[in-house]
Structures are given as structure tokens and as C-alpha cells.
């Protein structure tokens, strides 16, 4: 287990594989999850890449830090971690709020980013009203009070079968996140709108979405892909908001093909 002190917050991270001449791939998790959601993708990529995983502040084993949070605070934590690890020119893959952190990182520190994989995310997610309602409910009644509704957008009905033990495990992951970190990240989501910044992204980018994503549906993700010059767009079948859990094999294939394209200019997906 590895921990670093970045911007006065304890950040929990993991590195798999030494960089050497391998490309560095950074993964950023979504709201209410920690970096274990990437496990089934990582095991398919390890060996070919140096992989950096971390829990954003307020999630997993990372600390809470100063409230309130902005998307720029989250991105600054990641920049600090990559500086500490002497990583530059990484391929950065973010899921949902992780994708907004990736976009913010690119704005703050373009030297750290050589390509973007924006997974089940957008230039803007939700409305001020929807986030304020969620914040009020979670502050009053806890994360468990909204868990069933959240899990419906995270996963397809096939995954949500009661006998699927993984489903129960991911429910535990959600309801065990710290309320303060969850709520502060909801506020950062509420306040982030990267529509103008998206038009200025000048690195190879792919926008990926699960066909049954109830949080950032395909039409929203496509609208973001259309803002980003030359961005690719790919739909993962039979997946909700978290394809790295539900369809890791298909997602890994799309990631590999995109990296191949971004690295060699070959025809991607």
C-alpha cells in the first residue's frame, strides 16, 4: 500500500509495473467508488503499461482535506501525485467525475497528459438542482438512503441480480465512502462546466460510454465527443455507468485500440 501527502491530504495510490520505456496509464475513479473498480481492466493491461491508480480525496483510503472541493482541487491532487512520481505525458483515463478531473488536469497541466480516455463522463454532469438535492438528502440521511437509485444507474439489471455477489460488494463500496468526501465531490461536480475547455483539447481523446448508462447516457457523452476536436466515440454494449466493472474485457479492448491509435497514428476503433 502506498500513501503520499499531497496538498495537505493523504492520497492513497498504487503503481503497477515500472515505467522504463512503457507508456504510463493513469486511472481516476468515479463518485462513491475507490480505485478497486479498475481491477479487472488493470489485470488485462499490466505488463504492457506502467499503471497509476489512486483514490481521489474524500474517497477510499485517501484523506478528506479542506472543504469545499472544486474540480481543480481534485486535479491539483493528481498533478501533485504525478509530479511526485516523476510522471509526464501520461495517458489519463477517468470515469465520470474522474473524467472531469482528467479534463481539469489537462487544463492545469497539459505537460502531464498525452491522451485522454473519457469514460462515462461529459463536459458537464447533472444540474445545480439535482446536485443540491442529492447533497441535502445525503447530509440528512446518509449515502445508504440513495444507494438503490444510484446502483440502478451504475449497473444493468443483469448485473443487479441479488445472487451476484459482486453487486453486493459494490453496494458496500458505495455506502462505505465518507459522507463528507462524497458530498464535497457532489458540490465539485455541480460547479464544473468544461464546455469551452473541451473545444480546446488538443491531445488524442476518446469518449466511451455504456449503452445503458443512466447517469451519463450515450447522447450526453456523444455531445461531449462532438465538442472535442477529432475525439473518438465508442459505446460498450451491456454496460451501465461503470463498464470497467461490468464489461472489463470490452472496455480493455477499446482502450488498447485507442492507445495504439494515439501512439502510432494507426486507425483506431
Q: Tell me which residues touch ligand L4CXMVQC (CB under 6 A).
A: 30-32, 96-97, 125, 150, 153, 189, 215, 241
CA distance linking residue 54 with residue 45, whole number of Å: 17
Residues forming a β-bridge with 235: 209
Quick one: CA torsion of 179, 35, 76, 48, rounded to 10 degrees? -170
We find the least distance from the C-beta atom of residue 103 to ligand L4CXMVQC, in angstroms, to be: 13
We find the least distance from the C-beta atom of residue 224 to ligand L4CXMVQC, in angstroms, to be: 13
Which has the closest alpha carbon to 122: 231, 35, 236, 267?
A: 231
Gyration radius (Cα) of the chain, Å: 17
CB nearer ligand L4CXMVQC, residue 28 or residue 85? 28
Task: Write the burial class of residue 269 (CB in 10 Å: 0-12 exposed, 13-18 middle, 19+ buried).
Answer: middle
Are 241 and 214 in contact by the 8 Å Cβ rule? The answer is yes
Name the residue whose CB lies closest to ligand L4CXMVQC: 96
The cell numbers describing 173, all together, are 463500496
- Count of helices and strands (H, E) across the chain: 11, 8
CB nearer ligand L4CXMVQC, residue 175 or residue 231? 175
We find the least distance from the C-beta atom of residue 11 to ligand L4CXMVQC, in angstroms, to be: 18
CB nearer ligand L4CXMVQC, residue 34 or residue 262? 34
We find the least distance from the C-beta atom of residue 202 to ligand L4CXMVQC, in angstroms, to be: 25
We find the least distance from the C-beta atom of residue 32 to ligand L4CXMVQC, in angstroms, to be: 5
CB nearer ligand L4CXMVQC, residue 87 or residue 153? 153
CB nearer ligand L4CXMVQC, residue 97 or residue 259? 97
Q: SS3 of 125, please?
A: coil
We find the least distance from the C-beta atom of residue 197 to ligand L4CXMVQC, in angstroms, to be: 18
CB nearer ligand L4CXMVQC, residue 33 or residue 205? 33
Are 35 and 29 in contact by the 8 Å Cβ rule? The answer is yes
Amino acid at each position: 500500500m502506498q500513501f503520499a501527502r499531497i496538498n495537505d491530504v493523504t492520497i492513497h495510490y498504487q503503481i503497477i509495473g515500472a515505467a522504463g520505456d512503457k507508456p504510463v496509464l493513469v486511472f481516476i475513479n468515479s463518485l462513491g467508488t475507490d480505485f478497486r473498480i479498475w481491477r479487472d481492466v488493470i489485470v488485462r493491461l499490466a505488463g504492457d503499461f506502467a499503471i497509476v491508480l489512486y483514490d481521489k480525496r474524500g474517497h477510499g483510503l485517501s484523506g478528506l482535506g479542506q472543504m469545499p472541493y472544486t474540480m481543480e482541487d481534485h486535479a491539483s491532487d493528481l498533478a501533485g501525485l504525478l509530479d511526485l512520481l516523476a510522471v509526464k505525458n501520461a495517458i489519463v483515463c477517468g470515469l465520470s467525475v474522474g473524467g472531469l478531473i482528467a479534463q481539469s488536469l489537462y487544463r492545469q497541466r497539459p505537460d502531464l497528459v498525452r491522451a485522454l480516455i473519457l469514460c462515462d463522463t461529459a463536459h458537464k454532469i447533472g444540474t445545480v438542482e439535482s446536485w443540491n438535492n442529492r447533497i441535502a438528502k445525503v447530509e440528512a440521511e446518509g449515502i445508504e438512503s440513495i444507494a438503490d437509485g444510484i446502483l440502478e444507474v451504475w449497473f444493468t439489471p443483469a448485473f443487479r441480480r441479488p445472487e451476484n455477489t459482486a453487486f453486493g460488494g459494490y453496494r458496500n463500496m458505495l455506502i462505505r465512502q465518507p459522507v463528507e468526501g462524497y458530498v464535497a465531490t457532489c458540490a465539485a461536480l455541480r460547479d464544473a462546466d468544461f464546455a469551452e475547455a473541451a473545444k480546446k483539447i488538443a491531445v488524442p481523446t476518446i469518449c466511451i460510454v455504456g449503452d445503458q448508462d443512466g447517469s451519463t447516457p450515450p447522447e450526453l457523452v456523444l455531445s461531449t465527443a462532438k465538442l472535442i476536436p477529432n475525439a473518438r466515440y465508442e459505446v460498450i454494449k451491456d454496460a451501465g455507468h461503470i463498464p470497467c466493472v461490468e464489461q472489463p474485457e470490452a472496455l480493455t479492448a477499446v482502450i488498447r485500440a485507442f492507445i495504439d491509435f494515439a501512439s502510432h497514428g494507426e486507425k483506431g476503433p
